[in-house]
Each structure stands twice: as structure tokens, then as C-alpha cells.
Amino acid sequence: MINIAICDDDVNICSEIENILLEYKNENNVKFNIDIFNSGNKFLKSLENSKNYDILFLDIQIGDLTGVDVGDFIRTKLKNRYMKIVYISNFEKYAMKLFDLKPTNFLIKPLDKNKVKEVLNDILYDLEIQLEEFIFNLKNVIFKIKYKDIIYFEKIKLSKNIKLITTNNEYIFKDSLNKIQENLKVNDFIKINKSILVNFNHIKIFNPNQFKIILTNEEELPLSKNRIKDIKEAYFNLLDERYY
């Protein structure tokens, strides 16, 4: 089940998006749960009450809050990098202002039904990938960790062990970092130095000038000075692929 929120103070726009989603649902045999909010504050309260959404259609000018306020709350306070935010506005000038919030897409009013469906196609493909799992063996027990929950892999010095840091746990198991990288089913991981493979989606701050990154768990990791050109290229290619 895909949970979708529509947040716009224009009830007509909300109805229009809902109708497009329901039409898409029937055409593609997918399951949507759709909630509508005409207030930014009401939407944020639902998030604070542990309601979670996979996709958010969000107006830039909601009334009580701006779409930027809502996006900042999701990305900064909740540290949610995976919710797909599709901004809606009458003006293209807002698009670049949203760079730091990493929106999934930007729709201009009046809405183009076919464009909305194209955006949905891309988002559902990304969501399917996020549900893929990394599988490993630890003391004869098989573990399955969703890629979206992996923050990074690290080769432990002077050993054949890998440390896996996730959003809620840490594991140590035998494997090769190169082998892991070769077998990953997604291209979201960047080798930032010879020992660490990082999930792009958990990079909160990318600072190549100081040869470091800060992750969503607030951990700071070093970037290889010798490989900085390749690291920057990999990072910005993923950024361009996901958000532009």
C-alpha cells in the first residue's frame, strides 16, 4: 500500500490531484491510500503523531505555512530523506529555492494530467527499489536489511570483517567491501574512501572542500583526497538523477 498525502489550501487542486491518482490507480492496478490536508500545520501534526507517507504533493504557498517550511520540517527535524516530495506552484521561480530540500519533482499549475502520471511512474519505480534488501549471513543467521535503512558499510582495519551501520542498528560480519559494492542491486552507494561505502540518501551535508560528509545520523566521515574528483562526480550524478 502506497500512502500519499496532498497538502494544498485550494480544495479544487486537491480534488484534481486525487482524481488523477485514482485514475492512475485503476489503470495500473496499484493500491493507494490518499489523505488530503488544506493546512500545513494539520499535515505536520499528523507527522508528529507518527503518520508516515511515501509521497507528498505539496503546494508552495499553503496559507498558514509555506511548502518550504513543511519540507524543511520533514528533511531536517524528522530526518526523513525518503519521502517523495512533489512541489506544486504557479511559478517556476520557486524551483531553485527548493534545492536543499531535495524535492522529487516540481509541477506547475494548471496541472498537466499526463505529467502527474509520469511523475508517479518515476516515484513508484524508486519506491520499489527502496524495498530491495541487502542479505548477509551472521553466525549462520540470515539477515535482510532494506537498502533505504542502510547508512554505510565500513571495512574494519586488519580484519576480513565489515561493519554495517543502519538507521537503528549495527552489524559486523565477514565479507569484502568490493564484493558488496559489485553485488548491490541499486546504484545509491558511493565509495568515499578505500574503507567506506555510503548510501547517497543518507548524506546530509556534502562538503568536498573540507573532504568530509555529515550523515543523517550526524556522524562525520572523511572523503578520500586522492579520489575527490570521482567522488564529486558520483555524488552530483546521483543528485542530478534523483532531483532534476
Domain boundaries of the chain, sorted by first residue? 2-130, 133-243
pLDDT of residue 129: 73
E strands of the chain, at which residues? 2-7, 32-37, 55-59, 84-89, 105-108, 133-138, 141-146, 150-155, 161-166, 170-174, 189-193, 196-199, 203-207, 212-215, 220-222
Domain 133-243 in CATH 2.40.50.1020: yes
| pTM for the whole structure | 0.68
Report the top-level CATH class of 2-130: alpha beta
pLDDT in tens, 173-219: 999 999 999 998 878 899 999 999 999 989 989 999 999 999 999 99
Q: What is the mean pLDDT of the chain?
A: 88
